[in-house]
Structure formats: C-alpha cells, structure tokens
C-alpha cells in the first residue's frame, strides 16, 4: 500500500500503539494494587433520600400516646356528630384514605385531591397537550459556512477548479394546523454567497424569497371530527385528540368521585361501629355490675356459712363476674379485627361489630384524618334512625342505572371507544392531499438598501423581492396508498373489539348494580324487621331477669337461673344495639347502591373555574353553532361527548344516564371556595316514613366510661370491694 513508503508515518503509528499498551498495563497494575473493601462497604449500604421537610413535624403530630387498658384514668370525651365527622374528613383528605393500607402498599394507585389536575395537565395526554398540536410553530435557523475545496470539474465551480466560498443561510417559518387538518405555512429564506467563480455577475450576492403554502387532506386526515378525536397523529391506533383527552379527564373525575364516596361510606361505617362499641360496652358493664352484686350476696352467705352460700355457688357466681369483666375489658380495648368497610360482603359494607371502643375510635380517627390520640376519646353523639323508612323499588332501580358513579365512568370509557372507532375508519382511506404554494423571489448585490430610488436592477435583494417580478407557484396533489391497508384495518378491527368489550362490560356492570341494589334493599328490610324483634327480645329479657331474681329471693329458683338470665339480658341488649347500628348502615347502603350517598351526606363536588377566555370562546362557538359554513371540510357535525353538567340534586327521566344542566353560577363555583355542609336531617331521597312503630326505649343512655371504675379493687382476701358504676 502507498502509506508504507513513508517510514515516519510507520514509526509514529508504532509509537502510538506502544503508548496505548503501556497505559493499559499501568491501569491494570493500578487496579490490582487498590483494595476495594472500602468501596464495597460504602456501595452496599442503604442510602436515604434527601427530601424537603413536610409542613409539620410528624412526630409532634402523634406525640400523645394512644389510649390503652394500661393508660386508665379520668377521660375527656369529644362528643362528635356524624355531620362533624364528614366535615373534618373532607377538610383533611388531600389523600383519599382506605382501611386496607393502600397508601403504603401501592402509593401510585392512591386517589388524591390532585389526581384530576394531574390528568388534565399531563404534557403528553392532557387537554392542553392535545390543543398544543394546533398551536402555531415558529422555527428559525442561521448557519454560516466557509468552503475551500478543489473541484474535479470546473463547470460546477463556475469556471474555476479551486473554489473559495463564504456562505450564509437563514430560514424562518411559521406553521399552523387547523381543526380541519389543513396545514398552513409561511416561510422566509435568505442566503448570501461570496465565491471566486469568474462567471458570477457579482462577487457576492443575496438571494431571498418568501412563500406561503397550504396542504389540505381530502381523504385520510380530513375533517374536524377526525382531528379532534385522533389529533395530528398519522399512526393508526394512536388517538390523542382534544375530545379523547377530555374524556380521560372525565374518567379521572369519576374515579375521584368514587373514592370520595367510598371514603364517606367508610367514615359512616366507622362512626356506627364506634356507636355500637359504646353500646356494647354499656351492656357488658351493666351485666358485670349485676354479676358483681350477685357475687357479693353469695359471698356474704359463704363467709357466714349460711344456706345458699355453698362453695360451688360462690365459685359459680365468681366465674360469672370474671367472665363479664373479661368481656368489659375486650369491649373497651378491642381487638385489631377488620371493621365495617366498603366491599366487604356488600358494596357499602356489611356491619362487623365487636372491634371495641378504643380500636373503633382509632379507626375513625384514621379515616377522618386526626392524630391517633390527642388526650380525648371520640364518642358519637348521634343516634340511629329509629323509625322505619320505605323505599320505592322502581325508583331505586332507575336511580341506580343513572346515578351510580361506576356506570357513569364506564359510559365515559364507552364513549371514548365510540369516538376512536369513528377515527379508526378514517385510516382505511388513502392519503390524498391537495397542495398549493406561492413564492416571491428577490436577487441582488446587497440585501437591503435604505433608499432604493434610482438604483440599478438587482442592486439589493429586497428591492427585487417587493417588485414582484419573479413569482412562482405550485398546485398539485399528493397520493399515498398503502397496498392492503393492513395497519388501518387492524386499527379499525381493534377499535370495534374495544367498543364491543366496553359495551359488554357496561351491560354487566348494570346487572351487578341492580343485584347490589336488590341486596341493599333486602338487607334494609331485614334490619327493619330484626330491629323490632330485637327490641321485643330485650323487653322480654328484662322481665325474665326481674322474675327470676324475685323467685330466687323467695327461694323458688336456683342460682343457675339468675346467672343465665343475666347473660341473656346482656346478649339481648348488645343484640338490640347491633340491630340499630345495622339499620343505620342499611339505610346508608341503599343510598350507596343507588348512587345518592353524596346527596345523603350533603356533599357536592364541582370542578374549579376555567379561564375567562375559555368561557368567552365557548359562548362564541355556541352562537355560531347553527350557522352554515362556507367550506365544510368535515363529513359530519362534530361529535357530542357529554350531555351537560351532572346535577347531584335532581334526576330527570334519562335512559342514557346523562346529567341535567345546572345553573351557571353552580358551575363557576370553585371547589376550594365552597365548604361542604350537611343539611338538616331529613328523610332520605325517595323515602316515605311509615307509621311509627313502638320500639323499646334504650335501656341505658350514652355511657361516660370511666376506665378506673371498670376494674374493681380487691383486698388481700380477694373479697370484692365496692365498685362504682360506669353509667351516669
């Protein structure tokens, strides 16, 4: 080869190889000499991220030790109404809580206050991102070059073989896509060329031109309907138009509503769980005190050796007392068992009492958003509804199919697939674009002269440009036909299958919602009947205990009958209040099943206000909606996505499940400016009261639980001392 004739080049190459080899050897030696123990020790340690501190100290937030059986003492109570619990929950729920610990297990799936805004402002799939595809785009570039080259053909060098050239190129363009798919562009091009070609008119010259271009799709990609669904994408199956983006936001808004509804349902469940825990504690305290009194009497006979104080009777009475004492302790502290929550047995939650006061109180605190303890014990101050309520089954089924949030969400999804199916059919058409271009050219020795009067032609480029002597135009068509349309056919078939699946899911959801409504209605009727029966059972248990105690005092009944009657009364009283709590939850579950729980709790959700320009544009487009168009590029009127604003407080006959428009002032009210309030207690929506049923009065008012009084004190001989009652 020719380069072997130059020994200097060969020696330099060998020297480079030797240096490279030497470096490699030294690097190996250095690597072997270094001990990597320190590196491994540091690299395998767990590191902690540096994050900005929260607005408050979480340790201070939970500084008070939670209440337990070990922290018995004089208690301060917080009498909380259900309305107050709902209000505090909404004020403290930036992150929607649940009872399953989802925020720890999978925080990415947790619904938050910001989720709708996050979806709305998504830079790839949000509404603004879809609208940005139709924004005007300004692009500009300036490049300078220095060319110094030898040419084999002097023809291409303008008469010289050694070309020396200074070149400057400047380009500016503003382009915009319209809703019909038309692409408009205005371009300005300027170049400066100074070279040594002897055939040049000027040693240096300027070329400038200005052109406008319009490209209108006639088949594929044409029309307002397609572009607002699919956007500017030319890829089948990729739909990111403004209508699809808005539907994604509507789906997220419905997800947020479902999360808020579930949270409020769990708050009510926890509230009535706590109510029952207090009532159950009352019943067990009363049974314990009665057993303690019976033990005292028999113990007195046992100490004096009189008849009726036999050892087996004293031990039996003592065992009865400690059984109830154990029940009191468990009813006060509770066990960490699953409480009543949504989707446990039924959509709104099947009652699961027995958690205990302290456990149920901490569960309510967690859902409401309060610290685990603040030195006070929350005590429900509302009583369950005691009068029977009658619901109309026809109205329940109609409301369930229209107002259930899950169905409304699936309808948004189905509507999105309907729009995607419309857009997918467009990809079965060939791409045929009509193109029109007009260009004005200018040429001159200079680019611009301040005074062009009396100057020679081609003195400056801009003078030549504005003269209009050099104009060019181009009109034509551009066709692109994929043979077979395989990708477009696959996109159309896929959209059809997606739509068919969404409709099938919607139909199955409607069936399931009706089953949920039927279960809720049946459970409601069961609690009405069982509450009355439990009340009669409680009244009978009281009379039985009074009669057995009288017979025992007259020495006509054994002790077993007295102890058994005490247990029966405690069970009957606990069962009665469990039925009352189940009745309250059953009323709530009927509203949950038919989609009116937020109305039942007096909660209204609304989107925040849009910019004023959006309202002005909407009013202008609504005014022009019925006017004929000069050029109708769309094959049909733009699709209707929604049926108006969803009103939570009224319901009209609407088989499509679309909402009823509300007043404009209600639409403009932002969420952050409206505090959720609960109206005065009224009958549930669609319910009519039955004639009042005489139920037995509550045997015990709300207990003011004094933990110190729950455990009796004893002397060294295990003789029971006086124990004060915990009921005031």
pLDDT tens, 508-517? 999 999 999 9
What does the pLDDT read at residue 423?
93
What does the pLDDT read at residue 627?
54
Tokens linked to 74 = 């004089």
Per the DSSP assignment, residues forming a β-bridge with 434 are: 216, 477
Per the DSSP assignment, residues forming a β-bridge with 431 are: 480
Q: Residue 191 phi/psi, 5° resolution?
A: -135, 150
Tokens linked to 616 = 């002005």
What is the gyration radius of the CA atoms in the chain, in angstroms?
A: 42
Give 577-588 pLDDT, tens digit per residue.
999 999 999 999
Per the DSSP assignment, residues forming a β-bridge with 214 are: 184, 436
C-alpha span between 66 and 63 (Å, rounded): 9
H or E stretch at 474: strand 471-480
> Is the model's pLDDT at 302 over the cut of 70?
yes
Instruction: Look up residue 112 and give its DSSP letter.
Output: B
C-alpha span between 424 and 495 (Å, rounded): 7
C-beta separation of 551 from 561 below 8 A: yes
In sequence order, the 6+-apart residues with CB closer than 8 A to the CB of 174 are: 136, 137, 138, 139, 185, 186
Least confident of 123-127, 219-223, 631-635, 722-726: 722-726
Give 683-724 pLDDT, tens digit per residue.
333 333 333 333 333 333 333 333 333 333 333 333 333 333
Span 25-33, mean pLDDT? 46
What does the pLDDT read at residue 644?
65
Which is higher by pLDDT, 628 or 344?
A: 344
C-alpha span between 676 and 678 (Å, rounded): 7
> Is the model's pLDDT at 14 over the cut of 90?
no
Give 642-698 pLDDT, tens digit per residue.
766 666 554 443 443 333 333 333 323 333 333 333 333 333 333 333 333 333 333
C-beta separation of 565 from 549 below 8 A: yes
Is 167 in a helix, a strand, or coil? strand
Cα separation of the two ends of the chain: 113
SS (H, E, C) 173-190: EEEEECCCCCEEEEEEEE
C-alpha span between 658 and 647 (Å, rounded): 10
What does the pLDDT read at residue 310?
86
Span 60-79, mean pLDDT? 81
What are the structural domain ranges in the chain?
2-32, 135-177+182-220+431-480
If phi over 0 gives left and psi between -120 and 50 gives alpha, with beta otherwise, what is residue 98?
A: beta
In sequence order, the 6+-apart residues with CB closer than 8 A to the CB of 604 are: 598, 648, 649, 674, 676
Give 526-557 pLDDT, tens digit per residue.
999 999 999 999 999 999 999 998 998 888 88
Give 184-211 pLDDT, tens digit per residue.
999 999 999 998 888 888 888 999 999 9
C-beta separation of 634 from 180 below 8 A: yes
Instruction: Look up residue 673 and give its DSSP letter.
Output: G
Quote the mean pLDDT of the chain: 80
Q: Where are the beta strands (DSSP E) in 16-159?
A: 76-80, 137-150
What does the pLDDT read at residue 609?
74
Residue given tokens 């009189």 in the structure block: 306
Residue 80 pLDDT level (bands cut at 50, 70, 90): very high
Percent of the chain with pLDDT over 90: 48
Give 488-533 pLDDT, tens digit per residue.
999 999 999 999 999 999 999 999 999 999 999 999 999 999 999 9
Residue 639 pLDDT level (bands cut at 50, 70, 90): low
> Is the model's pLDDT at 57 over the cut of 50?
yes
The Cα angle at residue 76 between residues 71 and 78, in degrees rounded to 5: 125
Q: Residue 214 phi/psi, 5° resolution?
A: -135, 135
C-alpha span between 282 and 470 (Å, rounded): 101
The structure's pTM equals: 0.77
SS (H, E, C) 555-587: CCCCHHHHHHHHHHHHHHHHHHHHHHHHHHHHH
Instruction: Look up residue 4 and give its DSSP letter.
Output: G
Residue given tokens 């029309």 in the structure block: 223
Give 453-477 pLDDT, tens digit per residue.
667 778 888 888 888 889 999 999 9
As to burial, measured by CB atoms within 10 angstroms (0-12 exposed, 13-18 middle, 19+ buried), residue 503 is: middle
Per the DSSP assignment, residues forming a β-bridge with 436 are: 214, 475
> Is the model's pLDDT at 426 over the cut of 70?
yes
The Cα angle at residue 77 between residues 71 and 80, in degrees rounded to 5: 135
| b/e 423-447 (16+ beta carbons within 10 angstroms → b) | bbebbebebbbeeebebbbbbbbbb
Q: Residue 254 phi/psi, 5° resolution?
A: -70, -40
Give 242-264 pLDDT, tens digit per residue.
999 999 999 999 999 999 999 99
DSSP for 616-659, please give it.
HHHHHHHHTTTSPPSS--SSSPPPP---SPPPSS-----TT---
What does the pLDDT read at residue 367?
93
Enumerate long-range contacts of 494-499, CB under 8 Å, 24 or more apart: 494/237, 494/424, 495/237, 495/417, 495/420, 495/421, 495/423, 495/424, 496/421, 496/424, 498/417, 498/420, 498/421, 499/414, 499/417, 499/418, 499/420, 499/421
Q: Where are the beta strands (DSSP E) in 159-279?
A: 162-177, 183-195, 204-217
Residue 637 pLDDT level (bands cut at 50, 70, 90): low
C-beta separation of 471 from 438 below 8 A: yes
C-alpha span between 304 and 118 (Å, rounded): 80
Span 382-402, mean pLDDT? 91
Residue 269 pLDDT level (bands cut at 50, 70, 90): very high
DSSP for 429-449, please give it.
S-EEEEEEEEEEEEEESBS--
In sequence order, the 6+-apart residues with CB closer than 8 A to the CB of 439 are: 209, 210, 211, 471, 472, 473, 474
> Is the model's pLDDT at 422 over the cut of 50?
yes
């Amino acid at each position: 080869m020719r380069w072997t004739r130059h020994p200097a080049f060969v020696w330099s190459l060998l020297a480079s190889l030797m240096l490279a080899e030497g470096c490699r050897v030294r690097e190996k030696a250095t690597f072997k000499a270094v001990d990597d123990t320190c590196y491994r020790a540091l690299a395998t340690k767990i590191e902690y991220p540096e994050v900005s501190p929260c607005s408050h100290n979480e340790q201070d937030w939970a500084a008070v030790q939670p209440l337990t059986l070990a922290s018995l003492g004089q208690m301060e109570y917080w009498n909380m109404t259900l309305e107050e619990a709902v209000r505090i929950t909404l004020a403290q729920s930036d992150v929607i809580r649940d009872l399953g610990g989802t925020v720890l297990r999978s925080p990415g799936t947790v619904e938050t206050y910001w989720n709708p805004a996050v979806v709305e402002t998504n830079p790839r799939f949000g509404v603004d991102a879809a609208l940005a595809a139709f924004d005007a785009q300004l692009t500009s570039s300036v490049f300078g070059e220095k060319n110094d080259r030898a040419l084999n053909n002097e023809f291409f060098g303008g008469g010289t073989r050694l070309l020396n050239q200074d070149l400057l190129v400047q380009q500016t363009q503003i382009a915009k896509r319209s809703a019909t798919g038309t692409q408009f562009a205005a371009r300005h091009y300027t170049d400066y060329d100074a070279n040594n070609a002897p055939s040049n008119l000027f040693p240096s010259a300027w070329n400038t031109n200005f052109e406008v271009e319009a490209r209108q799709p006639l088949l594929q990609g044409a029309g307002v309907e397609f572009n607002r669904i699919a956007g500017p994408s030319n890829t089948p199956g990729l739909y990111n138009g403004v209508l699809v983006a808005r539907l994604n936001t509507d789906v997220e808004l419905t997800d947020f509503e479902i999360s808020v509804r579930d949270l409020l349902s769990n708050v009510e469940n926890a509230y009535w769980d706590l109510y029952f825990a207090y009532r159950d504690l009352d019943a067990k305290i009363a049974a314990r005190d009665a057993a303690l009194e019976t033990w005292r009497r028999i113990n007195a006979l046992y100490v004096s050796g009189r008849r009726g104080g036999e050892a087996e009777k004293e031990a039996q009475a003592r065992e009865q007392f400690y059984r109830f004492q154990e029940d009191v302790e468990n009813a006060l502290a509770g066990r960490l068992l699953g409480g009543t929550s949504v989707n446990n047995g039924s959509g709104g939650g099947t009652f699961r009492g027995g958690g205990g006061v302290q456990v149920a109180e901490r569960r309510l605190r967690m859902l409401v958003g309060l610290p685990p303890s603040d030195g006070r014990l929350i005590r429900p101050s509302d009583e369950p509804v005691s009068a029977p309520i009658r619901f109309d089954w026809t109205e329940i089924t109609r409301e369930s199919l229209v107002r259930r949030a899950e169905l409304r969400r699936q309808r948004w999804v189905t509507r999105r697939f309907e729009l995607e199916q419309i857009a997918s059919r467009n990809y079965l058409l060939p791409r045929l674009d009509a193109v029109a271009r007009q260009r004005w050219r200018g040429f001159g020795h200079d680019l611009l002269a301040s005074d062009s009067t009396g100057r020679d032609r081609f003195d400056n480029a801009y003078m030549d440009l504005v003269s209009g002597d050099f104009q060019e135009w181009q009109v034509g068509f551009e066709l692109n036909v994929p043979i077979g349309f395989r990708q477009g056919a696959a996109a159309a078939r896929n959209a059809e299958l997606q739509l068919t699946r969404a409709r099938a899911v919607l139909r199955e959801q409607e069936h399931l919602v009706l089953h949920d409504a039927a279960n809720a209605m049946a459970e409601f009727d069961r609690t009405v009947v069982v509450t009355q029966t439990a009340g009669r059972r409680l009244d009978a248990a009281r009379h039985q205990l009074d009669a057995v105690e009288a017979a025992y005092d007259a020495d006509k009944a054994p002790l077993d009958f007295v102890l058994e009657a005490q247990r029966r009364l405690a069970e009957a009283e606990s069962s009665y209040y469990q039925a009352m709590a189940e009745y309250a939850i059953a009323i709530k579950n009927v509203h949950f099943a038919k989609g009116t729980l937020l109305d039942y709790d007096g909660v209204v959700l609304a989107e925040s206000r849009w910019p004023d320009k959006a309202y002005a544009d909407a009013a202008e487009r609504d005014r022009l909606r019925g006017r004929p168009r000069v050029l109708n590029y769309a094959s049909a009127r733009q699709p209707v996505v929604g049926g108006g604003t969803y009103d939570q407080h009224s319901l009209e006959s609407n088989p499509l499940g679309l909402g009823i428009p509300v007043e404009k002032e209600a639409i403009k009210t932002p969420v952050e400016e409206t505090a959720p309030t609960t109206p005065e207690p009224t009958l549930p929506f669609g319910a009519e009261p039955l004639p009042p049923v005489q139920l037995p009065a509550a045997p015990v008012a709300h207990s003011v639980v004094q933990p110190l009084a729950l455990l009796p004190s004893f002397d060294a001989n295990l003789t029971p001392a006086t124990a004060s009652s915990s009921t005031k």
